[in-house]
Amino acid sequence: MEKLDQIDLAILKTLQENGRISNADLADRIGLSPSSCSRRLDILEKSGVIQGYHARVSHRLLDYKMIVIVHISLSGQFAKTLAEFEAAVKRVPNILVCYLMSGEYDYILRVACKDLEDYERIHRDWLSALPHVVKINSSFALREIIDRPNLAAIG
């Protein structure tokens, strides 16, 4: 994909505000014809700039009231070790995010759980069973200040 121009950025900004906007309304807001807008949107999707459209659900209203930040240390950073860990972590349903890190810990996870007992179960049944884990450090989020699903710097 070539460099994004101001029209592409305006499309992205508008979609971040309302991912369910119709093509006709999007085109009108951006100042394009519907066919031109549709072509640009197709290019943004096929190039991977737009990775998908999602419903943002409230974990709290689904009774997942706790977020735990989990730091994981592995026995080594060999390609096979990382691949096995990453394949296993993808099967843990309560893990919302997993990052491979530089620094003291190998991975940082964001885990949603209903309460302390639920986290104990997740820790016992899932996290402790992940391959090559030698250390787990858990921190409990007290309050969410910001969880920005979109890039505010667009446009």
Tally of residues, the chain: 155
Q: Looking at per-residue confidence, does 2 or 97 come out higher?
A: 97
pLDDT at 147 over 90: no
- Please give the full DSSP string across the chain, using - where no structure is assigned: -----HHHHHHHHHHHH-TT--HHHHHHHHT--HHHHHHHHHHHHHTTSS--------TTTTT--EEEEEEEEES---HHHHHHHHHHHTT-TTEEEEEE-SSS-SEEEEEEESSHHHHHHHHHHTGGGSTTEEEEEEEE---------S-TT--
pLDDT at 11 over 90: yes
This prediction has a pTM of 0.83
How far is residue 147's CA from residue 55's CA, in Å, rounded to a whole number?
Answer: 15
Mean pLDDT value across residues 26-43: 96
When the pLDDT of each residue in the chain is averaged and rounded to a whole number, the result is: 94
Give pLDDT, residue 155. Answer: 57
